[in-house]
A and B are shown apart, each in its own frame.
Chain A
Amino acid sequence: MTITLRAERRSNRCSVLTLVLVSCAALAGCTTAPFGYPSPQPGPSTRAPGGSARPPEAEPAPRTNASAALLEQGKEARAAGRYAEATATLERALRIDPNNPLLWIELAEIKAADGDRAQAREMARKALTLAAGDRAIESRARRLL
């Protein structure tokens, strides 16, 4: 099967990247730009969507209380070599606190201790996507990757 594309009216495709490159090249050639910026670009840490203030969604510490207790139980089980129990306990914690990278990295290490290299790697990747720059978690994850 062959597909040929015949766009009837091809407006000039303007990928943002080329626009940026072209305009910047032009600027670099002829202007001396002032280095003071009128308004600071919102950094990635500003997270108010659409200009409206987000409701105070601050995850209450208690949610972590339950998952922290389970994390401790899981660690004990892992230390005793009861990997099935440790896994089940960590999964229970993840149902409560799924975006907590500590739980994912712990589960990754349980998988590694239990000889499941593939799952250890995947779970470490998951921990990394949630780590948000936490060095300790990043280095624990890298050891498994």
Chain B
Amino acid sequence: MKKRILLYVLLAIPVAALAYGAWVWGRIAREFDDRHWDLPAEVFAAPLELYQGLRLTADDLTRELRRLGYGPVSGRIAPGLFRRAGNTIDVHRRAFTYDGRSFPAQVLHLEFAAGRISALEDGDGNPLPIAELEPMLIGHLFSSHGEDRIILGPDEVPKLLTESLKAVEDRRFDQHWGIDARAMLRAALANMRAGGITQGGSTLTMQLVRSYFLSNRQTYTRKIREALMALVLELRHSKDEIMLAYVNEIYLGQNGARAVHGFGLASRFYFGKPLAELDVHEIALLVAIVRGPSYYDPRRNPERARARRTLVLERMRDAGLIDDAAFAAAKERELGVVSVETRRATYYPAFMDLVRRQLRRDYDDKDLEQRGLEIYTTLEPLTQAIAEQALATELERLERAMPGRPELEGAVVVTNPHTAEVRALVGGKRTGFDGFNRALDARRQIGSLVKPAVHLAALESGRYSLASHIDDVPVTVELDGGRTWSPKNFDDTVNGQVTAVRALAESLNLATVNLGLEVGLDRVARTLERLGVEPRRPLYPSLLLGAIELTPYEVAEAYNTIANGGFRTPLKAVRAVVDGRGRTLRRYSLEIEQVASPASIHALNQGLVQVMRRGTGAPAQRLLPAGLMTAGKTGTSDGSRDSWFAGFSADHLVVAWIGNDRNASTGLTGGSGALQVWARIIGAVETSSYDLPPPAGVERVHIDYRTGLSTDPTCPDAIELAMPAFAVPPKAVACGSTNTRTGSRLREWIRNRLQ
């Protein structure tokens, strides 16, 4: 009997071992193979287009080049290098492909003057009309797991890196079967002497397996499993495949909440440039970090990292990978790690989220993991950095100014109003973190941001101009069930008769409600619908004061139509999707639709210019370049929960929101919070004045802000508005007077007869 049991046990052991082996085999086949040999879609930012006349300084370009990983030199330039002398920059642009077109490596000679590019030439001194820099790779689309990674192909891995890895981590890599018994024995002896586990003796294959499947606890059973799995991996794959997987997989650092895996991403993370451009000392540092990314973190522990780098360089020399001179030179080099700011600006989770959502309309997740898809987006890294900085600065300032306030959060959307391309998107103050994307998902009351729609509805009715008088007097509206609604002005004032432009500029609630009721709620709602906003029905008059909830992104879409002269176009983040062979699969072309009369929009926008000059937007002036004309509107929701600002120059529409995630009162108004963020952004981007010639059907006239009469441009209260000829009011006899000139009245009369 006992013998029988023993027999069973003896039989069970190989059966169990075989079963375990089969399980390991299956698991490796399933996970490792699937995961590694797929190339996820690469996502690119918009390329910087250089041309004579572009508003760009030599400092801006230097920053952009460094961000793209170009190195400054004083001598000869090669691809990936640039040379600056004062206001002249020579850059050897790398070869690249963009949207199916190939651009060869090229020398560009740029001169700068008065804040612009004053000359652009090729290396032989021939003028170039336009040149592109390669777009920055901003990430990859993985749907199944959220990590970012830069997957390298076999040709993209420098031989010096793989040879150095072998020299330092696994000298018998090319000979062993996944396990190096001698190294393990040596490690085991060292551990016994030390009375615990201090040395690994792991091969590269075992490190790879550990990174893939196993926890990081050092135990003997785990070591055995690791060895078994390494053996299976070696049986299934060639040495080259395993080395490539190692290079793409191994853990090399921590970027906030995000793990940095693979040498491709690590190269960007530590040096801000592609792996292929790394120098000997930089490769040595990455190899040094492998042993302990936290312990040898070159940013936090530079001395330790440097000491280990020297050790790695010695091993490289001993293995004959570098000669004595290269060793001596590399040993003396600085660590060369890029600053935290530079690297933070290369990860854009909020924008990537938008890209993913827009692509999901046309692709399912599997398609996006197809080999080698390239996604060309509209993101402008420079603008994104400015927007992130502006929000962070303002939130810090507000929190310092009023400690104890509920925690503030914010969001920003920046577009090009003409093309509706999203230039930048900030989803919260922790920008390097995949969290709640407030730009797309925080749905809040928009308050006075709705008022331009009320005025637009009035202008389109043909019965008003912005010089018309409206009543800023108390109003009570009877609702269903005997309830009433009696809005008040923000500061509780009653101003009597005011010009429409003043009602807009100073955001007067009573005047807006009276105007909206006169025009009709339904007409206002239809105007909103044409701008892309769908008010819930039945309609309530509180709609006139912005009792409607929108996300910052939706606000940007509606205001983009206003900034774009009444042409609506859905915002877009993706320009084109190209497959691995350079064929364009899909191009997201510009599509526009006229939804408001150009004359009415032009008239409205002259009023929004006055918001910035005389009204609630005026505090922005100190942050804007002198003479820059902009147009915009503040918004504050009930109980000061949300602070909004939406406004534009000729080339930039910016929507900023500040509030609290639990919708608590922040005590802010549109002017005290979001406006400051907006102004910091508009003040920092390269942009030009919002100043278009009036379209057919309207003319520009000077109007007295308070009386609404035509006036001389030299009068203190003269503002410039646009309106149809028949609506131009008669001229006042003197600045600010309500009496009109006889001649002026007669001329109006004749003009009206002739219409």
Interface of A with B (CB < 8 Å)? 1-11, 13-17, 19-21, 23-25, 27-28, 31, 33-39, 41-44, 46-51, 54-55, 57, 59-63, 65-66, 68-70, 84, 87-88, 91-92, 94-96, 98-99, 107, 119, 122-123, 125-126, 128-130, 132-133
- The answer to whether A66 touches B129 (Cβ under 8 A) is yes
Residue of B nearest to A132 (CB): B693
Decide: A68 near B419, CB < 8 A? Known: A3-B521, A25-B749, A129-B695: no
Cβ contact within 8 Å between A5 and B720: no
User: Does B743 count as interface, using CB distance less than 8 angstroms?
Assistant: yes
Residue B219 at the chain A interface, CB threshold 8 Å: no
Residue of A nearest to B701 (CB): A42
Is residue B745 contacting chain A, with contact meaning CB distance below 8 A? Answer: yes
Q: Contact between A61 and B743 (Cβ–Cβ < 8 Å)?
A: no
Q: How far is the CA of A5 from the CA of B541 in the complex (A)?
A: 10
Of chain B, the residue at the smallest CB distance from A121 is B594
Does A51 lie within 8 Å of B713, measured CB to CB? yes
**Nearest-neighbor residue (CB-CB) of A61 within chain B:** B53
Alpha-carbon gap, A2 to B496, bound state (A): 27
Decide: B692 and A20 in contact? CB cutoff 8 A: no
Query: Which residue of B117, B713, B746 is within 8 Å of A24 (Cβ)?
Result: B746
Q: Is the CB of B479 within 8 A of A3?
A: yes
Shortest Cβ distance from residue A62 to the other chain B in the assembled complex, whole angstroms: 3
> Quick check: B591 and A10 within 8 Å, CB to CB?
no
A126 close to B517 (CB less than 8 A):
no
* Interface flags, B534-576, vs A, CB<8A=1, else 0: 0000111100000000000000000000000111000000001
A20 touches B749 (CB 8 A): yes
Contact A63 B565 (CB under 8 A): no
- Interface bits B406-428 vs A (CB < 8 Å: 1, else 0): 00000000001011010000000
Stretch of B309-317, B661-669, B724-732 that contacts chain A: B724-732
State whether A16 touches B53 (Cβ < 8 A): no
CA distance A28 to B477 in the complex (A): 42
Knowing A8-B474, A21-B752, A65-B51 are in contact, say whether A122-B594 is a contact too (CB < 8 A).
Answer: yes
Does B613 reach chain A (CB closer than 8 Å)? yes
**Nearest 3 Cβ contacts at the A-B interface:** A24-B749, A62-B53, A69-B129
B541 CB contacts on chain A under 8 angstroms: 3
Docked pose: A99 CA to B463 CA in angstroms:
30
A16 touches B651 (CB 8 A): no
B694 interface contact, C-beta 8 A: yes
For B130, what are the chain A residues with a Cβ–Cβ distance below 8 Å?
66, 69-70, 96
Contact A10 B419 (CB under 8 A): no
Q: Is the CB of B713 within 8 A of A48?
A: yes
Q: Name the B residues within 8 Å of A15 (CB-CB).
A: 463-464, 468-469
Is there contact, CB below 8 Å, between B752 and A24?
Answer: yes
**Smallest CB-CB separation from A90: which chain B residue?**
B590
A20 touches B478 (CB 8 A): no
Say whether B592 faces chain A, with CB atoms less than 8 Å apart.
yes
Partner of A11, one of B468, B496, B712, B748: B496
Determine the chain B residues whose CB is within 8 A of the CB of A47 once the complex forms. Answer: 691, 700, 720
A-B contact pairs, 16 of them (CB 8 A): A6-B475, A11-B471, A16-B467, A27-B742, A31-B746, A33-B743, A39-B712, A51-B713, A62-B117, A66-B51, A69-B130, A87-B587, A95-B49, A95-B416, A98-B418, A129-B696
